């Protein structure tokens, strides 16, 4: 009789364990099936039938499609045909580049998140977050991405299947800027000479998307002749079919700039694929707006649309809940990282973005530069995109987010929509030569002969002289020394007596130089030096109000310390 309570407890415990096990099994079964993404129904036999030929150094061809690296290190690619075949061909042509891009992307994530357990959690979270993403992507683009996935590496299968990875990477910008406020850091675009009768309308943009140096090494200008829609060209990287900067053969341009978003709860249409659809299927501004209205997105984004047929440009401002269109009556239009249309006049996220970020300052600086020119030439557009100064030409440090040129651009591009001209920057950032491609010439020429020079050598924009300056050399050294200083601060390592003076002198106009130096002194207990440098930093141009507030709090903490 005495064993009955004990037996009851054991039976209860066993029942509880079985119930918990059943719940866990049910959850993982549900998770497994709920997060499965169906593959497109296509004829996969062409994957084996299409073979890549090496036609020269860094030059490959499959049928009429090809990939080659030009003299300046820029990859040029031509693709044609139906979606799945385009994807398969693109994947095979860029297989080595896909591996390099994926590795650099994953390496950077591991550097940001060194914890393996958190990385595992993040992997499952993103898989769950994006579980329905295929429902928001056109079948055509699913097929193209699926085609590319056959060339993805086995080395990264621990993250997910090849198709899931390629699909999810198209939403990486959206997830990143929504969850971590990355916002591509601070892209800026502008249109000038609008409405002029001399076909001189011009659009410029810096795509300030930085993962690491390796990621930016292999950018591609890709020319596409799809079996449906318009011929177009866009600046991209291996495996990316979404558009961040591009122009079609009708003279319609699309560039995207991130805005301030709420944290989303599930995926929708990646903004780059919306931009791709507009580029491929819109002829004018009205058609671009109609396409944008049809698609549900999960982040806030601006799309600057330039149109040859309208001889104008507008900004489509789109969030998960509303859409606005911003236009101006004068000859220039500027887009940074906040919304300007009436639709977002009372939007809290947007108003916070205006008051606390670098966006409004950078917009005003761009307007200041544009207002000095009556008619903007492509050379003057490049000079604006390369400008490193603040308002009223004040020095604000190299790499400041408030400057047009922040030394992080994946690419910089200039469009002349009515003339179908594209200039794309070569490395590094926007400092190398800009090469000029003409869409009308390209798509009417013998593109099956990739050995020809594709860009117009007569209209190449020369290197920025800054590239060869002592100041730029110092900036590169500054980036290198950042690693050393942060490590010393973290581990409280004593540095040479004159090291901090040397470090600050490498980039003396930048607030961060003083803040990092002060952090170092704080870490080794020299609060007097820390206080001096924190105070000096307040005389510099901070990028965000939150950065300045943190320094003010550190000063107050030092001053209040007994």
Contact 507, 476 (CB under 8 A): no
* Residues 214-220, mean pLDDT to the nearest whole number: 88
Measured distance CA(129)–CA(137) in Å, rounded: 15
Measured distance CA(498)–CA(503) in Å, rounded: 9
Q: What is the pLDDT of residue 219?
A: 96
Measured distance CA(411)–CA(11) in Å, rounded: 66
Residue 196 falls within a domain, yes or no?
A: yes
Contact 305, 255 (CB under 8 A): no
Residue 4 falls within a domain, yes or no?
A: no
Residues 494, 364 share a domain: no
Residue 444 falls within a domain, yes or no?
A: yes
- Structure tokens, 530: 């820390």
pTM of this prediction exceeds 0.85 = yes
- Domain of 540? 471-560
Residues 239, 352 share a domain: yes
Measured distance CA(327)–CA(330) in Å, rounded: 9
Final residue before a domain boundary, out of 435, 465, 495: 465
- 449: buried, middle or exposed (CB in 10 Å: 19+, 13-18, 0-12)? exposed
Residue 458 falls within a domain, yes or no?
A: yes
Measured distance CA(313)–CA(252) in Å, rounded: 9
Final residue before a domain boundary, out of 415, 442, 465: 465
Residues 505, 421 share a domain: no
Q: What is the total residue count of the chain?
A: 562
Residues 450, 415 share a domain: yes
Please name which of 256, 257, 260, 258 lies closest in space to residue 352, comparing C-alpha atoms.
260
* Residues 498-510, mean pLDDT to the nearest whole number: 98
- Please state whether beta strands 220-226 and 188-192 pair in parallel, antiparallel, or not at all (unpaired): unpaired
Q: What is the pLDDT of residue 184?
A: 44
pLDDT at 30 over 60: no
Please name which of 66, 94, 399, 59 lies closest in space to residue 218, comparing C-alpha atoms.
94
Residue 283 falls within a domain, yes or no?
A: yes
Final residue before a domain boundary, out of 401, 432, 465: 465
Please name which of 104, 175, 186, 164 lies closest in space to residue 361, comparing C-alpha atoms.
186
Q: What is the pLDDT of residue 134?
A: 83
CATH of the domain at 208: 3.60.60.10
* Residues 254-274, mean pLDDT to the nearest whole number: 85
Residues 439, 513 share a domain: no
- Residue 182's pLDDT band, with cuts at 50, 70 and 90, is very low
Contact 313, 203 (CB under 8 A): yes
Q: What is the pLDDT of residue 514?
A: 99
* Residues 209-237, mean pLDDT to the nearest whole number: 92
Residue 35 falls within a domain, yes or no?
A: no
Please name which of 77, 119, 73 lies closest in space to residue 95, comparing C-alpha atoms.
77
pLDDT at 319 over 50: yes
Please name which of 9, 549, 443 lies closest in space to residue 225, comparing C-alpha atoms.
443
- Structure tokens, 185: 């850091």
Percent residues over pLDDT 90 in the chain: 72
Residues 402, 519 share a domain: no
pLDDT at 183 over 50: no
pLDDT at 185 over 60: no
- Phi-psi region at 393: left, alpha or beta (left = phi > 0; alpha = psi -120 to 50): left
pLDDT at 3 over 60: no
* Residues 37-61, mean pLDDT to the nearest whole number: 92
- Residue 37's pLDDT band, with cuts at 50, 70 and 90, is confident
pLDDT at 22 over 80: no
Number of domains in the chain: 2
- Structure tokens, 12: 């209860």
Give the torsion sign (CA, 108, 111, 113, 118): positive
Residues 361, 289 share a domain: yes
- Residue 18's pLDDT band, with cuts at 50, 70 and 90, is low
Residue 198 falls within a domain, yes or no?
A: yes
pLDDT at 364 over 90: yes
Residues 278, 417 share a domain: yes
- Residue 216's pLDDT band, with cuts at 50, 70 and 90, is confident
Residues 405, 497 share a domain: no
Q: What is the pLDDT of residue 34?
A: 46
Residue whose entry in the numeric block shows the structure tokens 């990477």: 169
SS3 of 108-175: the string is HHHHHCCCHHHHHHHHHHHHHHCCCHHHHCCHHHHHHHHHHHCCCCHHHCCCCCHHHHHHHHCCHHHH
Q: What is the pLDDT of residue 32?
A: 46
Residues 184, 322 share a domain: yes
Residue 307 falls within a domain, yes or no?
A: yes
Residues 410, 321 share a domain: yes
* Residues 122-126, mean pLDDT to the nearest whole number: 68
The mean-pLDDT minimum among 160-174, 312-326, 382-396 falls in 160-174
The mean-pLDDT minimum among 61-75, 117-131, 194-208, 280-294 falls in 117-131
* Residues 464-480, mean pLDDT to the nearest whole number: 98
The mean-pLDDT minimum among 14-18, 70-74, 398-402 falls in 14-18
Residues 458, 480 share a domain: no
Measured distance CA(487)–CA(129) in Å, rounded: 35
Contact 77, 67 (CB under 8 A): yes
Q: Residue 439 contacts by C-beta under 8 Å, 6 or more apart in sequence?
A: 223, 231, 232, 233, 247, 248, 249, 420, 421, 422
- Residue 517's pLDDT band, with cuts at 50, 70 and 90, is very high
- Residue 11's pLDDT band, with cuts at 50, 70 and 90, is low
Q: What is the pLDDT of residue 361?
A: 98
Residue 183 vs residue 356, higher pLDDT:
356
Q: Express each pLDDT in 336-351 by its tens digit.
A: 999 999 999 999 999 9
Buried b (16+ CB within 10 A) or exposed e, 241-253: bbbbbbbbbbbbb
CATH of the domain at 481: 1.25.40
Q: What is the pLDDT of residue 48?
A: 87
The mean-pLDDT minimum among 53-62, 153-162, 407-416, 453-462 falls in 153-162
Please name which of 127, 122, 99 lies closest in space to residue 109, comparing C-alpha atoms.
122
């Amino acid at each position: 009789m005495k064993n009955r309570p004990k037996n009851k407890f054991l039976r209860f415990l066993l029942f509880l364990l079985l119930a918990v096990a059943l719940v866990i099994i049910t959850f993982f079964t549900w998770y497994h099936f709920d997060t499965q993404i169906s593959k497109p129904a296509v004829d996969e036999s062409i994957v084996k039938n299409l073979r890549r030929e090496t036609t020269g150094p860094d030059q490959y061809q499959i049928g009429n499609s090809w990939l080659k690296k030009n003299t300046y290190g820029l990859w040029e690619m031509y693709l044609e045909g139906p979606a799945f075949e385009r994807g398969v061909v693109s994947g095979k042509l860029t297989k080595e580049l896909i591996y390099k891009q994926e590795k650099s992307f994953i390496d950077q994530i591991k550097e940001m998140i060194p914890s393996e357990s958190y990385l595992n959690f993040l992997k499952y979270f993103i898989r769950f977050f994006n579980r329905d993403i295929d429902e928001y992507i056109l079948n055509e683009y699913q097929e193209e991405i699926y085609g590319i996935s056959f060339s993805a590496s086995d080395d990264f299968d621990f993250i997910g299947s090849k198709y899931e990875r390629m699909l999810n990477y198209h939403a990486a910008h959206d997830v990143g800027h929504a969850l971590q406020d990355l916002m591509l850091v601070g892209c800026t675009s502008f249109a000038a000479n609008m409405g002029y009768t001399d076909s001189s309308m011009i659009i410029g943009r810096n795509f300030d998307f930085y993962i690491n140096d390796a990621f930016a090494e292999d950018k591609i200008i890709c020319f596409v002749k799809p079996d449906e829609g318009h011929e177009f060209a866009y600046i991209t990287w291996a495996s990316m079919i979404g558009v961040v900067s591009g122009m079609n053969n009708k003279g319609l341009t699309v560039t995207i700039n991130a805005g301030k978003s709420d944290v989303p709860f599930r995926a929708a249409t990646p903004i780059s694929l919306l931009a791709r659809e507009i580029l491929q299927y819109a002829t004018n501004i009205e058609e671009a707006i109609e396409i944008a209205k049809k698609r549900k997105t999960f982040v806030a984004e601006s799309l600057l649309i330039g149109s040859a047929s309208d001889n104008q440009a507008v900004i489509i401002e789109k969030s998960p809940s509303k859409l606005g269109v911003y236009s101006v009556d004068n000859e220039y239009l500027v887009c940074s990282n906040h919304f300007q249309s009436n639709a977002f006049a009372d939007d809290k996220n947007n108003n916070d973005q205006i008051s606390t970020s670098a966006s409004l300052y950078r917009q005003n600086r761009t307007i200041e530069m544009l207002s000095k020119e009556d008619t903007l030439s492509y050379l003057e557009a490049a000079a604006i995109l390369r400008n490193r100064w603040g308002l009223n030409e004040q020095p604000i440090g190299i790499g400041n987010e408030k400057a047009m040129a922040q030394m992080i651009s994946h690419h910089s591009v200039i469009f002349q929509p009515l003339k179908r001209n594209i200039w794309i920057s070569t490395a590094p950032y926007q400092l190398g030569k800009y090469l000029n491609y003409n869409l009308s010439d390209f798509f009417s020429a013998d593109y099956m002969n990739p050995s020809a020079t594709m860009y117009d050598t007569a209209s190449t924009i020369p290197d920025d002289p800054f590239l060869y300056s002592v100041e730029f050399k110092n900036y590169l050294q500054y980036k290198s020394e950042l690693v050393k200083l942060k490590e010393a601060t973290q581990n409280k390592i004593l540095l040479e007596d004159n090291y901090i003076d040397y470090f600050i002198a490498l980039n003396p106009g930048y607030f961060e130089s003083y803040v990092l130096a002060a952090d170092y002194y704080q870490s080794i207990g020299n609060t007097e030096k820390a206080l001096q440098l924190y105070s000096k930093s307040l005389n510099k141009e901070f990028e965000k109000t939150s950065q300045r507030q943190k320094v003010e709090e550190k000063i107050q903490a030092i001053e209040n310390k007994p």
